[in-house]
Structures are given as structure tokens and as C-alpha cells.
Structure 1
Amino acid sequence: MEFDFSVFSNPQTWVSLLTLTFMEIVLGIDNIIFISIVVNRLPRDQQKRGRTIGLMLALLCRIGLLLSITWIVGLKTPLFHLNLPWLEEPFGVAGRDLILLAGGLFLIGKSTTEIHTKLQGEEDETGAEGGTATMGSIIMQIIVIDIVFSFDSILTAVGLVDNVLIMILAVILSMGVMLVFSGVVADFVNRNPTIKMLALSFLIMIGVMLVMEAFHKEIEKGYIYFAMFFSLVVEILNMRLRKKAAPVQLRESQFD
């Protein structure tokens, strides 16, 4: 594959690069949240390394898929059709649908398990040294979800920009930003139980969205991310109020 670097003489290219980089950062938030929560299962001294490996794997996945655009487009071609009685036409099942379905179910199952563990207090038994999971098992989980999230990211990139070089640069820049702030996000999520529960709920919602997309039911992602942002702002305000809250003082009645 040959790259045409002359496109950078066009100001529109830089606008497209900045726009796509911002979009990649927004779409990568759910990836950071998942990696942060899963990596928390590692011993404390391995968590930073686990986050770095996870994001680097995400970067390699996205670049690899960008270099295979033709294959990605081919995944939209139905592999077989299902004749379902409640549908007027046969339902075409493509490779992309199978990947999104598997990824969505994995995300729902993993997030539900994490919520159960949190509510049962099992993670508190690991103590100050962090979790007891192995690096290999965590990396395998990150690889699975990275592939699914990468499809979402790549399809967005293809819809915004035609030049593969711009897409690759946008992915590299966005991953650089996420790598810098991943530690801050992870510490914030793991330090605040209510934020962690909210993050896990977001991941379940994203998993449901992926499953629906596998069945060709598209959901406007803007609504999903707005709901996530709104919920996060409300919870942050609640956290501030809880810190400032003073004991309630009952006023004396004038009839006493």
C-alpha cells in the first residue's frame, strides 16, 4: 500500500485529521474504561504495564484493520441467510455481525460479572496489593474487546475520511492521548466505587448496542455518549455534595 504525503499541503487534510482524532478519542473512552477495570485485577505493581500493553494492542489492532480496509468492507457481505418467520425477507448474517454479536455478549457478561463481584465484596478480599489475575488472562480479554471496539472505530473513520494515512495518524494521535490519561482515568474509576459501578453500567449498555447492531438495529451513538456524559456529570456533582454535606440541623419550632 502506497501513501500520498502530498495531501498534507491541503488545509482540509489537517481539519480532517483533527476531527477524526477527536472522534477516535471519544470512541476510545469505553475502551479505556474496560481496560482500567479489567487491569485492576492484576497485582498493583503490574497494573500500569497492563494498561500500556492493552492500549498498544488496541493501536496495533486498529492500524492492522486500517491496512485491511478491503477485508473490512467484505465483512459486510452476508455469509448466509436465515429465514425467520417474523421477517418478510431473509436475514443476511455477515462476518461483521458475528463479531459484533460475540463482542457484545462478552462485554455484557464480563461487566455483569464485575458488578456481581463488586456487590459481593469479593474484590476487597484481595487487599492493598491489587488482584490476583495473571497478565496472560487479562491480555486475552483486552485483545478480544480491542478487536470489537476497533471495528466500531474503523467504520467511523472510513465514513469520515477516505485517506488511510490520515486514519492511521489519527489513531496514533488518539492512542497517544489515551495512553497519557489512562492512568488518571483508571485511578479515578477505581478510587470511586459509584463511578466504577456507573462505568460498568455503561459497558453493559455498549454491549447491548453492539448486539443490536449485529441484528441490523442501528442506534445513534450520539445519544449513548450523551447519556454517559450526563450521568457522569450528575454523579460527579453528587460526589461533591457528599463531601460538603454537613449534618442536618433541625430548626426549633416556634411553638416549643
Structure 2
Amino acid sequence: MSLLELLADPATWAALATLIVLEVVLGIDNLIFISILSNKLPPAQQNKARKLGIALALVLRLALLSMIAWIAGLTVPVFDLGLQGAPGLGGAPSFETAFSWRDLILIAGGLFLLWKATKEIHHTMDPEPTGTQMDKKGHKALSFGAAIAQILALDLVFSIDSILTAIGMTDDLPVMIIAVIVAVGVMLIAATPLANFIEANPTVVMLALGFLLMIGAVLIADGFGVHVPKGYIYAAMAFSAGVEMLNILARRRRERRNSAATRH
């Protein structure tokens, strides 16, 4: 089917709109990680790191779309431990023992997110001793190359998850490409405002790191065949973010009242 025929089909537009929304939602995880890492760099390098990280995400997604057959093959089991998980609902095993390359990539990505988020929480709670190269926030300084390498590693994990979602939504490659480009464009527009918001509100950093811990745990669970509905995860994230926004507004109102009382 040609592109013009696709665009003339209402079902194509419905699939495109749905896929764009899903891709944007899936990109939130990627964007939070990029924002936290880029904020640890010197100010002159932060915007460059964010743009490069998002550009790499787009390149990886488009490259993976060109290898759809290979990506689909990642879901084929490559080995089976031959174990039986504890019985779950209906007597079925609670986790899978046959692992595909997709499962292994998700598990590795989840473990990396758990390690990275835990490490950042530790640095926030217990800064490095005097004499260690530090950034302006009192965290151990991160080199530009190290930040890009970590962003690239997580870009790969999130890109595979994103493309598998796209494959499950539609068989039309042009629709997938358009959805991915639009979603990454939204990430590019939102990257700097999100990073600035996180930078200006230190308590949001801990909340974002908590999100990364949860996402890491969900990736590991997914790799073991325990599929947690994404709606639950994003609903929990939205609720937590909403509560934190109320806390931020309350703090700002108190600061304004205290400032007005001090002037008088």
C-alpha cells in the first residue's frame, strides 16, 4: 500500500494517533534519565548532552525499524532454564523460565537502572568526601563521554521496547516511522524545560530517581515474564508528580508570605 493510500484510510490515522501517544508516554522514562544525567554535567555541556542523547534515541529507533524482522526475532526464546516458577493465578507458573534476547536486554537494562538510581540516591544523601571532583550540587562530577555512554545504553533498551510496541500496533512501516519521529520531537521540545524544572526543585530529583527505580523493577519483571500493565505504572507516577506539585506550590506560597512579612 502506498503512502497516499495509507493517509486516505481513517484507520491509519487512528493507529498513528494512538501510536504517537504510546511512544510519547514510553519516551517519558528515557527523558527523565537523560535529564538527570545531563544536569550532572557542567552548564555549558548540558544542552548539548540532552540534544545528543535524544538524537541517538531517534537514530536507534529508526535503525531498529529498518530491521523489523530481526527485532521480531528477539522475542523467540534462546534458552530455557527448565525450572518451574511458583504457581500464580489459575495454577500457572508466576514467571517464565524461557528467555529471549528481548528478555535479557530488558533485565540488563532494568538492573542498570536500579544500580544507577540507587547510586544517585546515595550521592544525594551522602555526598562524596572532600577532595573528590564535585559539581555545583555537591555530586561527584560526571564526564561528558561517560554521560553519553550511559544515555546510549538506556536509549537502546527503551528503543527496543518502543519498537516492539510499534510492531504490535501496526504493520505499516511509514506509520511507525512518523510516530517515532513525532514522539522524539516531543522529547526534544520537552527536554530542556523538564531538566530545568528538575534542577530548580531538588525534591523532584529524588522523586524522579524513585521513578527510575520503579521502571527498573518493571523492566526486570517484564524480562522474567511478569507483565505489569503500563497504565498502573504511569498512573502511579502521575499521582506522585501531582502530590509533589502541590508540595511545590505550598512551599512557594509560604516563601512569598514570609518574604512579604519580612519586608513589612
Q: Which residue of 2 aligns with 1:81?
A: 80
TM-score by length of 2: 0.86
What code does the residue aligned with 1:136 have?
G
Q: Which residue of 1 aligns with 2:221?
A: 212
Q: Deviations over 1:196-239 (max 9, x none)?
A: 10000000100000001111010001000000000000110011
More displaced 10-residue stretch of structure 1: 160-169 or 116-125: 116-125
Q: How far has the Cα of 1:91 moved from its partner?
A: 2.1
2:114 is the counterpart of 1:108: yes
Partners of 2:189 and 2:228 in 1: how far apart? 30
Q: Deviations over 1:107-137 (max 9, x none)?
A: 0000110111111244994227997322211
Q: How far has the Cα of 1:170 moved from its partner?
A: 0.7
What code does the residue aligned with 2:31 have?
I
What code does the residue aligned with 2:61 have?
R
Identity of aligned residues (%): 46
Partners of 2:138 and 2:206 in 1: how far apart? 21
Aligned residues: 246
Q: Are the counterparts in 2 of residues 40 and 130 from structure 1 also a CA contact under 8 Å?
A: no
Runs of 4+ in 1 over 3 A off after TM superposition: 2-5, 85-90, 121-125, 128-132
More displaced 10-residue stretch of structure 1: 155-164 or 130-139: 130-139
Q: Which residue of 2 aligns with 1:139?
A: 148
- The counterpart of 1:151, out of the listed 137, 146, 160, is 160
Q: Which residue of 2 aligns with 1:222?
A: 231
Partners of 1:76 and 1:168 in 2: how far apart? 21
What code does the residue aligned with 2:124 have?
K
Partners of 1:228 and 1:48 in 2: how far apart? 25
Partners of 2:66 and 2:32 in 1: how far apart? 26
Partners of 1:98 and 1:175 in 2: how far apart? 25
What code does the residue aligned with 1:57 have?
L
What code does the residue aligned with 1:197 have?
M
Q: Are the counterparts in 2 of residues 44 and 131 from structure 1 also a CA contact under 8 Å?
A: no
Partners of 1:75 and 1:3 in 2: how far apart? 28
Partners of 1:129 and 1:202 in 2: how far apart? 22
Q: Are the counterparts in 2 of residues 21 and 174 from structure 1 also a CA contact under 8 Å?
A: yes
Partners of 2:152 and 2:143 in 1: how far apart? 15
Partners of 1:121 and 1:28 in 2: how far apart? 30
Q: Are the counterparts in 1 of residues 85 and 97 from structure 2 also a CA contact under 8 Å?
A: no
What code does the residue aligned with 1:241 have?
A
Q: Are the counterparts in 1 of residues 127 and 138 from structure 2 also a CA contact under 8 Å?
A: no
2:46 is the counterpart of 1:47: yes
Q: Which runs of 5+ in 1 are unaligned?
A: 248-256
- The counterpart of 1:119, out of the listed 120, 125, 132, is 125
- The counterpart of 2:171, out of the listed 158, 162, 185, is 162
What code does the residue aligned with 1:180 have?
I
Q: Kindly tell me: are residues 67 and 3 of structure 1, through their superposed partners in 2, closer, same or farther at Cα, counting changes over 3 Å?
A: farther
